[in-house]
Amino acid sequence: MDMRNERFLEAVDTVILEKRNREGIGRLGEKIVHASLKLFYDSDRTHHEVKYEGFVADILNDSGIVEIQTGSFTPLKRKLEAFLPRSPVTVVHPIPRQTTVIWIDPVSGEFSAPRKSPKRENVCGVFRQLVSILPYLESDNLTVALLFLDVEEYRMLHPKYGKRRSTRYERVPTALGEEILLKTPDDYAALLPDALPEEFTAQVFSKLAKVRGMALSAALKVLLTLGVLSREKVGRGYLYRRNDKKKADCQNRA
């Protein structure tokens, strides 16, 4: 086990132990993933939950601000508007690499045998979150860190409908994977599918990047704004052109 992963799992164990000694896993406001990442990125708790410019930063230290964002990026907008003119900000977004699901019986409290989920998160899906903070992506003070994790996901079965209406109870990280830093247009260009041609339609991008609907619209909007792509009107649609020099495989980064 590498030192980075070992240090991360130590942070996870510390958080789990503290929760068990207090109210039990899943009952506290702050979830295990969020709390563990705070401890991993800065072990000094005096740097956690620090008031700054009218908001509370997850981490504030000599290197700047770290915000752990496990869900929607929309709540970040007002924070970034206040933080970025005054401090470097790193937004850490954990992405499940491998999820093992454990079902909880709501009556007996018993856990099912763990089963690996066949679903895989596509890193290109992050554009759906990034579009929420689009005005700030070009700031020199902003870095987005995509952090891949293996997780155990505990889901509470619905008393009547079982898995069909189950709810997520808690996620517990079990391993730390790759970290992708997004700061410059070249970093975002590296997320483009390797097979993407120099010129392409939205339909081609959708197929190769495995995104569609709102995620497709968000990806194209972000990449156009950052200058990674350009486009021209052709008939009733658009022809897109990649402006980057290097290629990387978006869908296989997950």
Q: What is the pLDDT along the chain (254 residues), one digit of tens a residue?
A: 689 999 999 999 999 998 887 765 444 457 999 999 999 999 999 999 999 999 999 999 999 999 999 999 999 999 999 999 999 999 999 999 999 999 999 989 899 999 999 888 888 889 999 999 999 999 999 999 999 999 999 999 999 888 989 998 899 999 999 999 999 999 999 999 999 999 999 999 999 999 999 999 999 999 999 999 999 999 989 999 999 654 444 544 54
Q: With respect to CATH, is domain 191-244 assigned 1.10.10.10? A: yes
Helix (H) or strand (E) holding 78: helix 76-83
Specify the pLDDT at position 21: 77
Cα dihedral sign, 39-124-136-226: positive
| Cα 177 from Cα 172, distance rounded (Å) | 14
> Residue 140: how many CB atoms within 10 A of its CB?
9
Calpha distance 112→31 (Å, rounded)? 21
| Whole-number Å distance between alpha carbons of 163 and 106 | 11
CB 96 within 8 A of CB 151: yes
pLDDT computed for residue 184 by the predictor: 96
Q: Where are the domains of the chain?
A: 3-183, 191-244
Instruction: Give the pLDDT score at 223.
Output: 97
Structure tokens at 161: 């409908």
Closest CA to 40 of 64, 56, 25, 58: 58
Buried b (16+ CB within 10 A) or exposed e, 43-75: eeeebbeeeeeeeebbbbeeebbbbbbeeebee
- The predicted pLDDT at position 173 comes to 96
Whether this prediction's pTM lies above 0.85 is answered by yes
